[in-house]
Amino acid sequence: MNANDFNPHIPLSSLAPGMHGTITDIHTDDALRQRLQALGFRSGKQVEIIRKASFGGPIQVRIGTTDILLRQTEAALVEIRMT
């Protein structure tokens, strides 16, 4: 067993409000990857889920002091390691 067995990488969309994680990868095409990186989504950055809208609505994510709303489908493409 290694450290990753206890700290798996999961999609950002699966975190509940109040949970924190570190971005490890973004699994998408170059255009969306560049857009997310321009918003601050980069490997090694800490993120926190602030709230999730009901019925599959957007997720409010905090990176540093910036709050960003992401579609569920976009958040599912961002890989997180729980912290």
* Count of structural domains, the chain: 1
CATH number at residue 45: 2.30.30.90
Strands, DSSP E only, in the chain? 9-11, 20-26, 46-52, 59-63, 66-70, 78-82
**Model confidence over 16-64: pLDDT tens digits?**
999 999 999 999 999 999 999 999 999 999 999 999 998 889 999 999 9
pLDDT at res. 56: 86
Mean pLDDT value across residues 11-19: 95
Q: Which domain holds residue 52?
A: 3-82
Q: How many Å apart are CA 54 and CA 1, to the nearest integer?
A: 37
pLDDT at res. 23: 97
DSSP 8-state class, residue 14: G
